[in-house]
Structure 1
Amino acid sequence: MKIHKLSIVIPAYNEGNTIHLILNKIKAVNLIDNIQKELIIVNDCSSDHTEEAVSAYKSENPDLGISYFKHETNKGKGAAIHTGISKATGEYLIIQDADLEYDPEEYNDLLKPVCNGFADVVYGSRFMGSNPHRILFFWHTIGNRWLTFASNMFSNLNLTDMETCYKLFDTKLIQSIKLTEQRFGFEPEVTQKIARVPRIRIYEVGISYYGRTYDDGKKIGWKDGVRAIYCILKYGLFRVD
């Protein structure tokens, strides 16, 4: 399959100190088959200098194709992703956190199953493959694996990493799905709803992971894990639209 443009959806909240670093990494990536990049940054009402940092970077890189949007109130990561999805114009889109936990050099790994005609959706798994993974929190790892297991029970998928940031979607497909979760519930909701699509082809590839500590700015907590369980039951067991 020939892809002309990849939309990169970047939700950002208080990432003023690092967002230029991830944008540099995205800028440096040469996508396979001469695929063009569309960067969609959604500032979820940051209280730091995220807006100024993005504005300065956009001015310095006018040819990079950056579109910038801002929520006037803080709505949550999921809401920022919803906004980015709605603005995407590429044939496919990928979610990219504004921190440095995931490596844009691996976009091509996720694109290959699509370009070769096998996949409609590709997940990047932190728990498979031989790429480097920072060693961090035991209970976070157990929690992620348990949530993936619970999600698989109701989606009938065999994913190894449902909670991964790196998810590559057919843009028209994901834009056609009603998504409602405003925070980190986006991951289980979208997984359950994608799994219901008839004849959907979902692939998974191994990726690296350069995780952050809470001192580094990591934002997800135990309450988000509880919400994820709720979302798995809501959209998986009870199949709420």
Structure 2
Amino acid sequence: MKQPPVTEDSVGILSIVMPAYNEAATIAEVVDAVLVRGEVGELVIVDDCSSDGTWDEIQRIANERERVRVFRHDVNQGKGAALRTGISHCTKPYVLIQDADMEYWPGDYAALVRPLLDNGADVVYGSRFLTGNAHCVLAFWHSMGNQFLTMMSNMFSNLHLTDMETCYKAFRREIIQSIDICENRFGFEPEITAKMAAMRAKIYEVGISYQGRSYEEGKKIGWRDGVRAIYCILKYNLWEHRPLSMPKPVVTAERPAVEVAAEGA
């Protein structure tokens, strides 16, 4: 696909957080697609104790490319835990989540940052279900599951999202770093949505492109994660719901562009 232009006000504003688990076959291609975007100020990759050579590939990338910082969990903990580690190390004004496969297209960064810059958004969700953007047709039950979880989340959070489960979420850094992320696996999505609602964050949605993988191609989320998502929707919107205060914007110093470290998190 043709790359959208990068506007002057968006150059280098994004910290991209990329959780990775057994993605040796795709991660180099994804990193190339991410770093070609001018909005990217740094790419923070967290390897969640992969067993397929992903860590070796990540270390090679970090040694060869600028703007890349990498961390590793000593034991496998899940996507939410990897995001918790990565988000804590971000330094740029805005944080965006990017999976380490090719389901989501970094060319959509241009659309995702506009509400942050132009409309004062606190968080922007990239929706696979808004019209006007190319996307691979989802399997029926996968689509129904996504829509059911989004509807249930909306009911309890009083939001009107079209895609709560999307990977693409872009945040003001001080907001996402102020939140205590508890979920270690895919429960991150309903948890963070509930906490954004409790904070009364200004939330926008934009349409994005999507090329979904099959389980044969490496998709990892399963029905147990769907059950956990239902539990998390109830837990963080009802049982553990509490108002959260909005942090004030902060300015921090830059960190080194390339860093290789092991994280036990």
Partner of 1:14: 22
SS of alignment partner, residue 190 of structure 2: helix
Structure 1 residue 52: Cα displacement: 1.1
Matching residue's letter, 1:49: G
Partner of 1:233: 234
Match of 2:93 among 91, 94, 99: 91
Structure 1 residue 2: Cα displacement: 7.3
Matching residue's letter, 1:178: D
Question: Does 2:198 match 1:196?
Answer: yes
Partner of 2:51: 47
Report if aligned partners of 2:10, 2:113 keep a CA contact under 8 Å in 1: no
Greater Cα offset, 36-45 or 144-153: 36-45
Partner of 2:173: 171
1:125-164 correspondence to structure 2 within 5 Å: 125-164=127-166
Report if aligned partners of 1:85, 1:175 keep a CA contact under 8 Å in 2: yes
SS of alignment partner, residue 218 of structure 1: coil
Deviations 1:107-159 (A, max 9, x none): 11010011113311000000002211112310010010000000001111100
1:27-46 correspondence to structure 2 within 5 Å: 27-31=35-39, 36-46=40-50
Match of 2:114 among 112, 118, 126: 112
Distance 1:78 1:208 in 2: 23
TM-score where L is the length of structure 2: 0.85
Report if aligned partners of 1:10, 1:81 keep a CA contact under 8 Å in 2: yes
Distance 2:169 2:157 in 1: 16
Matching residue's letter, 1:202: I
Matching residue's letter, 1:20: A
Distance 1:103 1:196 in 2: 30
Distance 1:136 1:125 in 2: 13
Structure 1 residue 5: Cα displacement: 2.6
Partner of 1:25: 33
SS of alignment partner, residue 125 of structure 2: strand
SS of alignment partner, residue 9 of structure 1: strand
Structure 1 residue ranges, 4+ long, deviating more than 3 angstroms after superposition = 1-4
Matching residue's letter, 2:195: K
Matching residue's letter, 1:157: L
The RMSD of aligned alpha carbons is 1.4
What runs of 5+ residues in structure 1 fail to find an aligned partner? none
Structure 1 residue 188: Cα displacement: 0.2
Structure 1 residue 37: Cα displacement: 1.7
Greater Cα offset, 49-58 or 7-16: 49-58
Partner of 2:63: 59
Q: How many residues align?
A: 234
Structure 1 residue 179: Cα displacement: 1.1
SS of alignment partner, residue 145 of structure 2: helix
Distance 2:148 2:24 in 1: 33
Deviations 1:152-205 (A, max 9, x none): 01111100000000000111111111110000000000000011114x210000
Deviations 1:74-106 (A, max 9, x none): 000000000011111111100000000000010
Distance 1:177 1:27 in 2: 27
Partner of 1:74: 76
Distance 1:45 1:25 in 2: 23
Distance 1:79 1:57 in 2: 22
Distance 1:20 1:74 in 2: 21
Distance 1:238 1:30 in 2: 42
What runs of 5+ residues in structure 2 fail to find an aligned partner? 1-8, 243-265
Matching residue's letter, 1:11: P
